[in-house]
Structures are given as C-alpha cells and as structure tokens.
Structure 1
Amino acid sequence: MTAIHRHPARSSVSLLVPLLAGAVIMVALGVYGRAHTPTGFAVGVAGFSAALPMKVWLTTAAAALAVVQIVSALSMWGRLGIRIPEGVHRWSGRLAFLLTIPVAFHCLYALGLQYDVPRVMVHSLLGCFFYGVFTTKMLALRKDGTPGWTLPVIGGLAFTALVGLWLTSSFWFFTAVGFAV
C-alpha cells in the first residue's frame, strides 16, 4: 500500500463540477426539508423503542466510524507511522454513510427542516451541509488534476459536519434524556 500524493500545483478548476454538485445537493435537501410538509410519522425504528433513539444510536455509530475514517486517512497519507489497510478506510466510510441514510430520511420526511429552535436549526443546516460535502468528496475522490489539499480539506469538512450533527443530536439526547434504546 502506498501513500496517496496529489500535486499541489494542479488546477482547482477540476473541482468545479464536484463543488457545484455538492452545492446542488445541499440546497435541494434544504429546500425539500423546508417545503415538504412533515408527516410526523416515524420510519425505520425496527429494534428501537422510538425514532429518536434510533437516530441517536445510528448517528453515534456513524460518528465513531468517522473517527476510524480520520485515523485511517492519516495512515494512508503516511502521517501515523503505521499502516492501516485502505479497505478499513473505504468500508468504515461506506458503513458510516449507510448509517446516516435512515436518520436523514426520517429527519427530512417526518420532521422537515426546522428553524424554530437554535439547536435544531443548526442540526438541520449541518445535515444539508454534510450531504453536500459528502457528494463533493465522492465526486472529487477519483478526479484527476485536483489539488493536493482537496481530499484532506473536504474530508475534514465532512468529519466536522458529522461531529456537529452528533453534538446537536446524540450528545444532546444523552445529556437531556439518557441512554435509552
């Protein structure tokens, strides 16, 4: 396994399509979440007592896998002095993303984008931002000609957004409600 090296002098123009696609996803989710009439109906709560604990625990698992993403990315870029197989990075990312899907679906479908409570507003906006940044990262990942800073910066933004989502949902739940399943 070799460390990934990008050429820093390459043009940022190669990021135009991934950035535009990410922006479209982010705005589309926000518009849908705001325009859609929330159903209030909980979906996908199998194995959990209610939708909120399901969202809390799936987000917690995704955030834990995001930490694996950071550690494995640092290893791939040769920053740790140890080698973690690239498959760990790929599969932890895939699994983290898959865990966010039922959460996002429930948030958009049942609750919509909300602005009335500051914590919930920040959470809603971070959710849209996360999927926009994730889209950008996935499209930029295999694109030739991207500057060397592309993946660390966009990956860092995705990680930061996911941690922000965890703080405004799971952490809030654990401190306000407890550790219900």
Structure 2
Amino acid sequence: MADVRTPTTTRTLRRILLAVAIGSLVAVALGVYGGLHQAAGYSIDIGGFSSTQSVKSWLTTLAVLLGVVQLISAMMIYGRIPGPTWAGTLHRWSGRLAVLCVVPVVVHCLYALGFQTYEPRVLIHALLGCFFFGAFTAKMLLLTYKDLPGWVLPVAGGALFCGLVGLWLTSSFWFFTTSGFTF
C-alpha cells in the first residue's frame, strides 16, 4: 500500500510542477495545432463500421471501460479495495490498451476536424481533448519519479479519468443518443 503522507520536498515539488508544465504545454500545443491546421475533413477509417463517428464512439467507449478497470485496479494497488497480486499488471495493461483505443480517435479529430468551436458541446469536447492529452503527458512523466508523495499519481490518474469520461460524454454518449448504437 502506498503511503499518501510522504512529505513533499522542494525537489519533489519542482518535479511535479515540471511535469504539469510540460503537460500544459502539450495541451496548448494540441489546441494551437488543431486551431491552425486546415481540417482535411477525412482520415483513415477502420473497416467494419458504418461511419467514422461510429468507430470513434466505440473506440472511446472501450477506452472508458478500460478507464474503469484502471480506476478499480488503482484502488486495489492503493489498498482501498481488496485485489489480486497482479492488480499492478492489470493497471498497466488496461492503460496501454486504453491509449491504443484513443490514438486513432485523436488522430482523426486533429487531422480531419481540427479544433472546432461552433457549439458549446464541441468546444467543451475540444478543450477536454487537449486537457486529456496534457494530463496523460504529465502522468507519464510523473511515473518516472520514484520519490513522489503517494497522493500525486492518484490525482494525476483521477484527472486523466475525468478528462476521458468528459470526452466520452461530449462525443460517444452524444452520438449514441442521437444516432443509436450503430456499428
């Protein structure tokens, strides 16, 4: 069980702030790129689905389900709920699979659509997309440090999970409620 009471030294605080700053730069860079990039209107599609929106919605839904696995396995790792000894492995692999699910989605969104603001849902979705990948970057950088206080990774993971759920609500949930559960 991780100790959430580890004191934060100046060196540790600098590391945390550096990771957050780099994550913030990634978020801003994605937003700027999405805003300046001339949207192509198309990208590579995955076969077997009726539309690009459908494949994106299902991949994001799978990523959210894997995010729930991440949340539960993290609670096992931190001793909040009982779990198997392989909870850490489950946590790492469910995270890797979730990232693999969202990469084609973000590539399509950035390349084909860009950063759009034509309605509040779309603006919130674009902002959450930038936030999500900024938070992902920060968490991956934080994972490289071994002397962090026990609260840092759960906060970073919680921000990442909230961003992912927000993305799902503003895209997949919206798509499923307006178009149905199509493949």
Interval of TM-score (by shorter of Structure 1 and Structure 2) = over 0.9
Could you say what secondary structure the match of 1:25 adopts? helix
1:7 CA displacement: 5.0
Structure 1 23/72 Cα, relative in aligned 2: closer, same or farther at 3 Å? same
1:4 to 2, 11, 19: 2
**CA deviation vs aligned residue, 1:76-132 (integer Å, no higher than 9, x gap):** 001102335111000000000110000000000000001111101100100000000
- Preserved contact between residue 22 and residue 135 of structure 1 (Cα < 8 Å): yes
Once residues 19 and 48 of structure 2 are traced to their aligned partners in structure 1, the CA distance between those partners, rounded to angstroms, is: 37
Instruction: Look up the match of 2:44.
Output: 43
**CA deviation vs aligned residue, 1:60-81 (integer Å, no higher than 9, x gap):** 0000000000000000001102
Runs of 4+ that moved beyond 4 A: none
What is the identity percentage for the equivalent residue pairs of Structure 1 and Structure 2? 50
Instruction: Look up the match of 1:57.
Output: 58
- Preserved contact between residue 6 and residue 146 of structure 1 (Cα < 8 Å): no
Matched, 1:67 2:68: yes
Instruction: Look up the match of 2:100.
Output: 98
Instruction: Look up the match of 1:161.
Output: 163
- Preserved contact between residue 131 and residue 163 of structure 2 (Cα < 8 Å): yes
- State the AA in 2 paired with 1:162: L
- Preserved contact between residue 25 and residue 135 of structure 1 (Cα < 8 Å): yes
1:121 to 123, 133, 136: 123
TM-score by structure 2 length?
A: 0.93
Could you say what secondary structure the match of 2:145 adopts? coil
Unaligned runs of 5+ in 1: none
- State the AA in 2 paired with 1:107: C
Once residues 5 and 143 of structure 2 are traced to their aligned partners in structure 1, the CA distance between those partners, rounded to angstroms, is: 14
Equivalenced residue count is 179
Unaligned runs of 5+ in 2: none
- Preserved contact between residue 56 and residue 169 of structure 1 (Cα < 8 Å): yes
Once residues 15 and 67 of structure 1 are traced to their aligned partners in structure 2, the CA distance between those partners, rounded to angstroms, is: 25
- Preserved contact between residue 69 and residue 93 of structure 1 (Cα < 8 Å): yes
Structure 1 148/4 Cα, relative in aligned 2: closer, same or farther at 3 Å? closer
Q: Pairwise mapping of residues 135-154 of structure 1 onto structure 2 (< 5 A)?
A: 135-154=137-156
1:149 CA displacement: 1.5
TM-score by structure 1 length?
A: 0.94
Could you say what secondary structure the match of 2:177 adopts? helix
- State the AA in 1 paired with 2:135: V
